[in-house]
Amino acid sequence: MAERPILVTGGTGQLASALAVASGSVMRVGRPDFDFDRPDSIEAAFRAADPALVVNAAAYTAVDAAESDADAAYRANRDGPALLAGLCAAAGVPLIHISTDYVFDGSKGAPYVEEDAVSPTGVYGASKLAGERAVLSSGARAAILRTSWVHYHEGKNFVRTMLTVGKTRDRLTVVADQRGCPTSAADLADAVLAVAARMRDGWRDDYAGVFHAAGGGDTTWFGVARAVFEDAAHQGWKVPTVDPIETADWPTPAKRPADSRLDCTRLADVFGVRLPHWREGLRRTTAAIFARAGA
C-alpha cells in the first residue's frame, strides 16, 4: 500500500517548490485545482490526496496590493486556511501552517518571541494574523511557523529582483533601516519536513501553537543586496554600486515593520530544528541562480 503523501498547498510558490525538491512524498496542489477563492476546490483536493499531513504554504503575499484588495487577502489568508484546518481537524490530520513576521509592528527593538504582542501594520499582516487565529481555533493538530524574507532561485523575491535590476543599472538605492531575518526557502523546507516527521511519529501537545522559523542572524535589505552583489562579483558579473536609503525615501502603500527579527529558540527546543545562518542560505540561493544562468 502506497504511503499517504504530505499535501502541500501553494502550487509553484517558493516553499512548495522547495518542498517538492526536498521530499519525494510531497504532493503539491495549486490553482486552478486548489484555490482559496473556490472553497469547493479545497475539500476536493484534500479528499483526493488523502494526506498524512498538510503544509499550507498558499497565501496572498502581495503586501502593497493587499491595501486596496483586502477582501482577496482575507479570503486567501484567513477564510481558506480556516476551511483547510477544519478538514484537517475532522480527519485527524496534522497541519503545518506558514505565517509571517508581518504580524508584528517592528517596534520592540529586539527579536520577537512567540508570546509577544501582535500588532500588524497593514492588511497583509492583519489577514495573516486572522489566519493564524482561525487555524488555532479550528481544533486541528496544528503548528504555525512564522517565517520572514523568503528567497529561492525560482519565483519572485528580493534576491532575484536585485540581480535582474543590477544587470541594467550602475547604481541602486536600497532601504537600510528595516531589519529582519532572511530565510532560504530550501532551508525552510528542510525545517518543515523535520517538523512534519516529528508530528507523524506521534503527536505531542507541545507541538501545537506558534513557532518562529527563520534564517539565523539578521540584517537589513541593504545588507542582503550587498551580499547578493558580493556573490555576483565572485561569479564575474557586472555589479552596481548600492547606496543605503531610509524607509521614508521609498514610500509604499503598506507600512513595513522596521525591525521584525524572529527569535527561533522555541522551534529548536521543541522540535530540535534550527535553520542555518541567513548568509549561508543566501549563498546557496545565489549559487543556484548563477548555475541556471550559466546552463
pLDDT tens profile 120-164: 999 999 999 999 999 999 999 999 999 999 999 999 999 999 999
Q: Does residue 280 surpass a pLDDT of 90?
A: yes
Which active-site residues does the annotation give? Answer: 124
Closest among 289, 4, 13 to 153, alpha carbons compared: 289
Q: What is the pLDDT of residues 182-234, one digit of tens each?
A: 999 999 999 999 999 999 999 999 999 999 999 999 999 999 999 999 999 99
**Global pTM?**
0.96
CA distance 173 to 171: 7
pLDDT of res. 1:
47
Answer for the pair 59, 128: CB distance below 8 angstroms, yes or no: yes
Instruction: Kindly list the domain boundaries of the chain, sorted by start residue.
Output: 6-157+182-217+260-277
Q: What is the bridge-based pairing of β-strands 6-9 and 53-56? A: parallel
- CATH assignment, 6-157+182-217+260-277: 3.40.50.720
SS (H, E, C) the chain: CCCCCEEEECCCCHHHHHHHHHCCCEEEECCCCCCCCCHHHHHHHHHHHCCCEEEECCCCCCCCHHHHCHHHHHHHHHHHHHHHHHHHHHHCCCEEEEEEHHHCCCCCCCCECCCCCCCCCCHHHHHHHHHHHHHHCCCCCEEEEEECCEECCCCCCHHHHHHHHHCCCCEEEEECCCEECCEEHHHHHHHHHHHHHHHHHCCCHHHCEEEECCCECCEEHHHHHHHHHHHHHHCCCCCCEEEEECHHHCCCCCCCCCECCECCHHHHHHHCCCCCEHHHHHHHHHHHHHHHHHC
CA atoms within 13 A on the CB side of 210: 25
Q: What is the pLDDT of residues 32-60, one digit of tens each?
A: 899 999 999 999 999 999 999 999 999 99
Give buried/exposed letters for 115-138 (b at 16+ CB in 10 A, else e).
eeebebbbbbbbbbbbbbebbbeb
Closest among 94, 95, 177, 160 to 131, alpha carbons compared: 95
C-alpha cell at 19: 518542498
C-alpha cell at 222: 541593504
Answer for the pair 222, 229: CB distance below 8 angstroms, yes or no: no
To the nearest whole number, what is the mean pLDDT of the chain? 96
Which has more confidence, 238 or 266? 266
Quick one: average pLDDT of 86-92?
98
pLDDT of res. 294:
73
Backbone angles phi, psi at 230, to 5 degrees: -65, -45
Start-to-end CA distance of the chain, whole Å, equals 40
Answer for the pair 56, 15: CB distance below 8 angstroms, yes or no: no
